[in-house]
Amino acid sequence: MRLARALLGLFGWRVVDNLPPTRKFITIAAWHTSNWDFPLSIMAMWGLGLPLKFIGKQELVNGKLGWMFKNLGVIGVDRSQQGGKFVDKIAALFDSHDELMIAVPPEGTRGKAEYWRTGFYYMALAAEVPIAFALTDSVKKEIGIDGYFYPSGNREEDLQIVKDFYKDKRGLKPEKQTEIAFRPVRDRE
């Protein structure tokens, strides 16, 4: 723990430690704008002493370095699959563990996207766990977890809480940040 904090400190980063009171939560992994986000986040989580797991594209765990990503806690998701099956899988994981912390990058890519993916939100609702605010803020050189909230099920109100938290945070490449917005809900006919 101390070594990870010391290494981050050498590069000017301060580890933020404002965690939920429970050992089960989903954390928003923002901002995801650079290849450096993941190694910095790994160091920060080691610095916090958290056995955090990460949602990542399936190709990471199936590729040549899949063994490494699995050992680092990456849970692969097939991004071509839509719907609640993966959300249900994650909710079941929470039911079967006494301690589980999962980071989800809502941007879904290092490039700019049209919307934030909502998986983190629906996973937390289904598992009835809080959503923690993870951050990599290049302006203040802060990394870690800085607060949380319990989602109410009101998407717009909960989205505003997320927007209010991240409004002054900047990723390593701010020009690649996706505006915080959820895809509009489509009416089912």
68 lies in some domain: yes
User: What CATH number is given to the structural domain containing 17?
Assistant: 3.40.35
The four Cα atoms 83, 88, 90, 94 give a dihedral, to 10 degrees, of: 160
Across the range 14-41, mean pLDDT stands at 87
Amino acid 109: pLDDT: 62
Q: How confident is the model at residue 101 (pLDDT cuts 50, 70, 90)?
A: very high
Residue 188 has pLDDT above 50, yes or no: no
Distance, in Å, from the CA atom of 148 to the CA atom of 50, rounded to the nearest integer, reads 16
187 is a domain residue: no
End-to-end CA distance of the chain: 52
Reference 185, options 159, 152, 151, 162; nearest CA is 159
> In DSSP terms, which residues pair with 163 in a beta bridge?
none
Higher pLDDT, 110 or 99: 99
pLDDT digits (tens, 9 = 90+) for 43-85: 898 899 988 888 877 777 788 888 888 877 777 777 666 656 8
What is the total count of domains within the chain? 1
For 142, the domain range is 2-176
Task: Specify the pLDDT at position 116.
Answer: 84
Separation CA 117–CA 121 (nearest Å): 9
The two structure tokens encoding residue 22: 């429970």
Cβ atoms of 4 and 39 within 8 Å: the answer is no
Q: In whole angstroms, how far apart are CA 120 and each of 12, 88, 102, 173, 179? A: 29, 12, 9, 22, 16
Q: What is the pTM of this model?
A: 0.85
- pLDDT tops 80 at residue 172: yes
Q: How far apart are CA 131 and CA 105, in angstroms?
A: 12
* Structural domain includes residue 186: no
Give tens-digit pLDDT for 113-170. 777 888 899 999 999 999 999 998 989 999 999 999 999 999 999 999 999 999 998 8
